[in-house]
Amino acid sequence: MDVVLITLGVLGIGAIIVSAYVFMVAARNYVSDETAPRGPDGHPLRQRVERGGDRRSGEAVSFPLMVNGILIEKDRRVLPDRRQGSPA
Whole-prediction pTM? 0.37
Q: SS3 of 26, please?
A: helix
**Per-residue model confidence as pLDDT tens digits over 17-46:** 999 999 988 877 676 656 566 777 766 666
**Per-residue model confidence as pLDDT tens digits over 54-81:** 666 667 777 888 888 888 888 777 666 6
CA–CA distance from 26 to each of 20, 58, 67 (Å)?
Answer: 10, 38, 37
> Which of 76, 54, 55 has the alpha carbon at shortest distance from 65?
76
Helix (H) or strand (E) holding 52: none
